[in-house]
Structure 1
Amino acid sequence: MNSAIKSAIARIWEGYSEPLSLDEIAKSAILSRFHFSRVFRAATRVSPGRYLSAVRIYQAKRLLATTSMSVTDISLAVGFNSLGSFTNHFTDSVGTSPSRFRRMWTEGIRGTPQPEDEALPESGTITGTVTLPAGYATARVYIGAFDTPIIQRRPAAWTVVEAEAGTKARYCLPDVSPGQWFVRAVATADSVDPEPWTRRSLLLGDVDPVTVADRSTSMVGIALRPKRTTDLPILYAIPDLEAHRPGRPVRAAAGRTAEMAPRGR
């Protein structure tokens, strides 16, 4: 990966609480702001400003889950000057308000429940397979169709599947409204390493973008891979991929309630 983009991303993660400007981020990459913006978008699929915003919301999630800081103090700590702006942006990205996210985390709820909606009369389907990279034995995989490259906001549809080495796990996202969607996958995977403390890994997969038409089926193959430096933070509160009980099915969801991870361990 381009060292300039590495430097810029490091600057964003280090200075997300500051009022970082595009000029400052570009300076860390030793590039002009115009050339830097093009190169950054090509590497990450989003603008530097959107990447910075995603990092701020991600860090807010971390602080809500691991500290007793007030929502107001957290909003200031991650670079927001207005509590109202922070709350609106957090709720839009994560799928729930900061206060409710903290309560959910305390209660062991890791995913945002979906409202019970009717199936769309004019919709399509995204279906395909998921494969594991070499060196991994099994994985539990969350797959969703999002309206941005970032895993944020309520997905058009999502499901959770189990994947195994040497096979292609099938998935289906029904009732996806016509338009362009970014298919994103997040997985917790066990490697083939026999040492238990080295086995658990985060894998990601992405496809850009998928066009869905009325009553059509789009076939999309997803190849999971280890996380990269350029990968965007996961903002939407997805189900807990660690809390799986064998034999408990997880259904695809398109605005309907899928079976969520159990509350607590």
Structure 2
Amino acid sequence: MDKSVRPAVLQAISSIRERYFEPITLADLASEVFVSRFHFSRMFADATGVTPGRFLTAVRLFEAKRLLLTTSLNVSDIVCSVGYSSVGTFTSRFSRAVGMTPTQYREPQVAELLVAISPTLRRLPPLRTLRAAGRNCASLQSGTGELAIQLDLPSGSAPADTLVGLFADPVPQCGPVAFTGMANVHSAELTINGAPAGQWTAIAVAQHQPGAAGPRFSIAYSTVHVAPHGRSATRIALRAPAPTDAPIAITLASKQSPFTQRMLADARPHLRAVA
């Protein structure tokens, strides 16, 4: 993106993050940075990969998830605090996007298996989760494809616990259709088995060990194609999170997933809330 327009996009993102609970409109954001709505929408999408409206929705849903997991506020209070005026409308939109109702999202396994990347909250599931995923990836959809991913961590970074998932949406709100993870790796090849055929957004997240000069967390987004049979391959280079990244909060928990049931059986005595 042209450096001359970057400050305008960053200013708009800052406004969204600070005022997401207000009734912000596209016209409001465009007027703040003194450009037309059409030009603003185009340069915002060029910088972030999504429209201003989708970025705002991502921020609101992220904050709703955070409040559900970290506070005892009732749902109606959370609805008001993230910019929605109707509990019914919010519940319908949340359930459709996330695959769970707000009440179900408060179940302990959701927090235990949470992946979150934002300026205020960054976490991966525990090491045992990543080790289990590496041994036996649990696809939430049945698939016959196999995707080999060469992961390149940032130069100079420490080894990391890494998770890679395939998503239908570039800003996902629900769990991946397939995923795998590995603990304490540097640049390495991971394989996702049982991946559904088609085009997906691969999102890789790494939590690096402390002590190195590189980033503590790194992330990557890549469009990948999975063949219906046989082995597909791709290469993904991770980087430090950027201000233009929409926040992500997805859980690997799913009542239909055998992976979740296995993790619950292993981890139930040690479940903890997200800090």
Which TM-score bucket, shorter chain as reference? 0.7 to 0.9
2-side partners of 1:148 and 1:67: how far apart? Answer: 28
Number of the residue aligned with 1:234: 248
- 1:42-61 paired onto structure 2 within 5 Å: 42-61=46-65
Instruction: Give 1:211 deviation, angstroms.
Output: 2.3
- Tell me which amino acid in the other structure corresponds to 1:142: L
Number of the residue aligned with 2:112: 109
Alignment coverage as a number of residue pairs: 241
Number of the residue aligned with 1:183: 202
More helix by share: 2
- Tell me which amino acid in the other structure corresponds to 1:20: I
Number of the residue aligned with 1:250: none
2-side partners of 1:191 and 1:116: how far apart? Answer: 31
Q: Deviations over 1:64-86 (max 9, x none)?
A: 22222111110111011221222
2-side partners of 1:118 and 1:94: how far apart? Answer: 16
Gaps of 5+ in 1: 240-253
Q: Percent of pairs identical after alignment?
A: 35
Number of the residue aligned with 2:259: 257
**Do 2:58 and 2:247's aligned partners in 1 also have CA atoms closer than 8 Å?**
yes
Instruction: Give 1:171 deviation, angstroms.
Output: 1.1
Using structure 2 for the length normalisation, give the TM-score. Answer: 0.77
**Do 1:147 and 1:182's aligned partners in 2 also have CA atoms closer than 8 Å?**
yes
From 136, 139, 143, the equivalent of 2:160 is: 139
Gaps of 5+ in 2: 116-128, 130-136
**Do 1:161 and 1:169's aligned partners in 2 also have CA atoms closer than 8 Å?**
no
Q: Deviations over 1:39-83 (max 9, x none)?
A: 111111111111100000111112122222111110111011221
From 1, 8, 19, the equivalent of 1:4 is: 8
- Tell me which amino acid in the other structure corresponds to 1:203: S
Using structure 1 for the length normalisation, give the TM-score. Answer: 0.79
Q: Deviations over 1:163-214 (max 9, x none)?
A: 534xx322112222232100001121124349xxxx982211111x222232
RMSD after superposition: 3.0
Number of the residue aligned with 2:42: 38
- 1:191-206 paired onto structure 2 within 5 Å: 191-193=210-212, 201-206=216-221
1-side partners of 2:248 and 2:51: how far apart? Answer: 16
2-side partners of 1:133 and 1:143: how far apart? Answer: 16
1-side partners of 2:149 and 2:196: how far apart? Answer: 17
**Do 1:146 and 1:152's aligned partners in 2 also have CA atoms closer than 8 Å?**
no
